[in-house]
Each structure stands twice: as C-alpha cells, then as structure tokens.
Amino acid sequence: MSSSRRPMIAGNWKMNTTPADGRELAAAIASGSAAYGGVDVVICPPFTGIASAADAVSGTNVQVGAQNMSAEESGAYTGEVSASMLRGLVSYVIAGHSERRGLYCETDAAVAAKATAAHSAGFVPIVCVGENLETRKRGDAVSTVRSQLRASLSGYTGWDSLVVAYEPVWAIGTGEAASPQQAQEIIGELREELVALAGEKAAAGIRILYGGSVNSRNIGPFVDRPDIDGALVGGASLQADEFVRIVEMTARLLENPA
C-alpha cells in the first residue's frame, strides 16, 4: 500500500439483503468504521437497496456504489439501470465483475462502454479484471489480465477518476485467496499496463484493489504490498463486524507501516 494513495475497502453485497436488511447493515458499518477516517469505505448493495443504504450512511464516512450500470442512458432496455437513475445515490460503479463477465457474457468492450458512461455521469468506475484457474495453470495469467485491462479501458480518459480491482476468478467465493505474492505480481503488472495507457504520473495515482476470499484474517499481508491499495470484499462485507475489522486492519497498517 502506497502512502501516496488513499486506501479503499469496498464491499460488494451481490444479490443479498432486502432494503430493510441493507439499511441495518449499512448503518452498522458506518457506525463501526467511523473511527477510521484514513480509509475510504464503500458499500455496493443490490439496486433495490441502494436508496435505503444511502440514506442510512448519509453524513458518515461511508460511500455507496452500484454493482453494475447500463452504458445506455435510457430506452427499451428491460431490466437495466442507467446513470440518471443512480445519480444522487452512488459515487462508484463496479464494471466488469467476473460474475457479470462469466454469467452474463459481458465482454471487455461492454465493460469499457460502462466505465466510460460511469465516468461521464460523474461516478468513479471500479473496473474488474482477473484470470480463471485454467489460464493461471497455463502460465498466461499476466498476459491475460494485462490484455483484459487494456481492452476494458479502451477509449477511457478519466485517469484521475478510476479504481481497478484484480479478482482472480479461481479465488472468488472459494475460500482460497491468492497469496499476497501472487496478487502483488499481477497488480504490479496491471500498474505497468496503466503506465502504458495513462502515463506514469496518472498510473501512480490509480488505486488497485485485490478481491477474492478477503477477510480480516488475511487482509494485512495484502495491503502491506506496495501496489495493493485495499480490497473489494465479497461475502465478508455482509457481516458488519467482520467488514469493519477489515477496515480497522487496513487503517492500522496505514498508521504503522512495516
């Protein structure tokens, strides 16, 4: 974790929580993380719970993000949610999560369009990339994620308003996190790719998160790495105490670097 980049812990609630559940969870996270102002805390509820969660954290240090967003502004796109529908409710938008790519066949081009649309609407996109187990075993992890990032940011120009998340597909929801060394290797490569895309100065300011079975027991060695600026947390973000503990561990490491 670089001292020049503010750390971020973002929680992706996925398809969990009712609006009432989400309000309670958001309020508990805001209360518990209030003491850790040096860390950006973001929660990403399902669409139906965004408004209630946003209301619950209003005036706190917790920000709200959307798990997805259409690249289209309006029209005959049944089931989609546009930027104008999210304006005033969220600050961040996740684009290209592996579950969107895998389950709903989202391409790099679609992710790039969403990232650009999110930035144009005033949101900060969190662009996700990551390799599957077959790719890693084949020895192609580095080339795959660099290519994926390049294509997922095609045409993107908002370099001062971007977060990247590296989520190895084989570590998401499996309980098997990548090692801190593996994560740093790939994230270091992603930063080099950002240098090629945006220039050294801009790339140095872009936060890159690790995601994949993150919890309070393993977060420390990840955020202790020079290029890892926090985490995109899945299941552990549904437990307020556990999620706050992740924020706390990150804040403590920031105050007392190794």
Is 192 tagged catalytic?
A: no
- Bridge partners (DSSP) listed for residue 230: 8
31/238 Cα distance (integer angstroms): 15
247/253 Cα distance (integer angstroms): 10
Is 119 tagged catalytic?
A: no
250/247 Cα distance (integer angstroms): 5
102/23 Cα distance (integer angstroms): 29
Check if the beta carbon of residue 201 is closer than 8 Å to that of residue 161.
Answer: no
CA dihedral 198, 199, 204, 207 (to 10 degrees): 10
82/99 Cα distance (integer angstroms): 20
149/94 Cα distance (integer angstroms): 14
Check if the beta carbon of residue 98 is closer than 8 Å to that of residue 169.
Answer: yes
Check if the beta carbon of residue 9 is closer than 8 Å to that of residue 42.
Answer: yes
Annotated catalytic residue, options 97, 106, 119, 189: 97
Count CB-CB contacts under 10 A for residue 240.
19
173/57 Cα distance (integer angstroms): 27
- Bridge partners (DSSP) listed for residue 208: 164
Annotated catalytic residue, options 106, 167, 189, 248: 167
Q: Which residues are annotated as catalytic? A: 97, 167
